[in-house]
Amino acid sequence: MWKEKGKIVIEVPSGHSTANSYINSAEKEYDEGNYYSALNNYLKVEEIYSTMNYHDDSQMKALNNTIGRCYRQLNEYYKAKEYFEKSLSISEKISDDELSFDNYTYLIGIECSIEKGSLETALDYGKKAEIIAIKLYGNKSSELSEVYSDFSNIYLNMEDYETSDNYLKKALNITNDLYGENSEDSAIIYKDLADLYKKQKQFDSAESYLEKAAEGMRTLSQINQYIRRRLYGTDTD
């Protein structure tokens, strides 16, 4: 269950107005969904840093992560992996657990997606991400639910359906407690469970989870309609 993470802030060294200009343009393009243009601007910043032999860990960890995000949005998985690994090597070295967690979760999805990805490596990243999620965010956090969903995807790729099922249900329990059984987040996990049972040809269970997913999406739609009525007196956008 891949989700785009919160923005990583890149602080440009004082006096480097050109790099700052490229970063400002890149952030604007990224926010507008123009990932190719954003990537080109971030790569120009990387080139500037390389030319000036600038290696500040606090800057490079964020820049590499952000370039990785651009490549991930463009589905260029191998390049994304390269930059997330660069960012991870720094974040682990300086014990930046928050950014390490971010890098782990991206790399888990990439290892599960690329042709020659290593599921054992993904599993190792997952174990490290789980430790950080519990340490930083707690046993009932959305971050831990995300890790459990990642574990489920790893074991699904290993065709260990029972373990995959167990982790998805762990993720679901946390998400239901946080947001309610009819939330959008829970609906996504219901759909993943439906897909898992469909793979096992357990069609009755798959249908049941699809119905739960649909109910969650209907509830979300009804909430949105209610909000629009209160704000605008209409059900239309």
Q: What is the mean pLDDT of the chain?
A: 87
DSSP 199-233: HTT-HHHHHHHHHHHHHHHHHHHHHHHHHHHHHHS
For residue 111, give both structure tokens: 């290892």
As annotated, the residues of the chain forming the CATH 1.25.40.10 domain(s) are 1-117, 140-237
- Tokens 């269970």 -> residue: 205
pLDDT at 211: 87
Highest mean pLDDT among 54-68, 72-86, 109-123: 72-86
8 A C-beta contact, residue 133 and residue 143: yes
**Range 140-237: architecture per CATH:** Alpha Horseshoe (1.25)
Which of 85, 99, 106 has the alpha carbon at shortest distance from 132? 99
**Range 1-117: architecture per CATH:** Alpha Horseshoe (1.25)
pLDDT at 8: 60
- What is the value of pTM for the model shown? 0.84
